[in-house]
Amino acid sequence: MAKAGNIVAEVLQSLKGVIIAGATTKEIEQFADGRIRALGGKSAFKGYRGYPASICTSINEEVVHGIPSSRKLKEGDIISIDIGVYYEGFYGDAAYTFPVGIVDEETAKLLRVTEEALYRGIGMAVVGNRVYDVSHAIQEHVEKNGFSVVRTFVGHGIGRQLHEEPQVPNFGVAGQGPRLRQGMTLAIEPMVNSGTFDVRVLEDGWTAVTQDGKRSAHFEHTVVVMPNSARILTNLN
């Protein structure tokens, strides 16, 4: 899993030089897929429940599961890249929302708060806590800053399968849910909207967008539950 996570992290890191105004999401996908293969991995997403691409590329009001296409990025856009990798029987999964050039102040705050919320959640992923301690830490930070957490999609266990139990919501009451044990591996992934948390899925059957058309950000890491602090397997250096 550590190797799968390293591949995910290296690919996300390499995309920083590719995500520029004028690039198409299909070009970004082709670059990412080539890097995954070059590093010895395989896309965990392509063909998963019929998903047609190697990565997810979600722009602006698109929350998750955006399908790469000929759409070109514009200055001031944001794009969430979600990557899953399969390597020798195990999975790694992470997401990062990139600004395209300079973004407005509200969008910059959305990205900052969402990433902070991810690390608040990771900080609670220690032995003896419960799943909803992670959930509550994320929700509290997001809502304190005037944003909303998506309810329709949640984080998850991960390991020999891309999606395993337990589900890891980004909202909930602290002290509830399964007890966290050493060695449990989780994909923690706050999806945060500028406006309402309501979303809808487009006719392509995959792309989820905010109901009110406002922007959304998505950050994710695969982590291992440990006694004092979770180990992040998809860390971007």
pLDDT score of 150: 98
pTM over 0.85: yes
Mean pLDDT by 10 residues, the chain (237 residues): 97 96 98 98 97 98 98 98 98 98 98 98 98 98 98 98 98 97 98 98 98 98 97 87
**Could you tell me the domains of the chain?**
2-232 (3.90.230.10)
Through-space distance between the first and last CA atoms of the chain, rounded to whole angstroms: 18
d(CA 59, CA 55): 13
CB within 8 Å of 31: residues ≥ 6 apart: 14, 15, 18
What's at 113, amino acid-wise?
A: V
* Angstrom distances, CA of residue 64 to CA of 3, 40, 88, 97: 25, 26, 26, 11
pLDDT score of 96: 98
pLDDT score of 237: 57
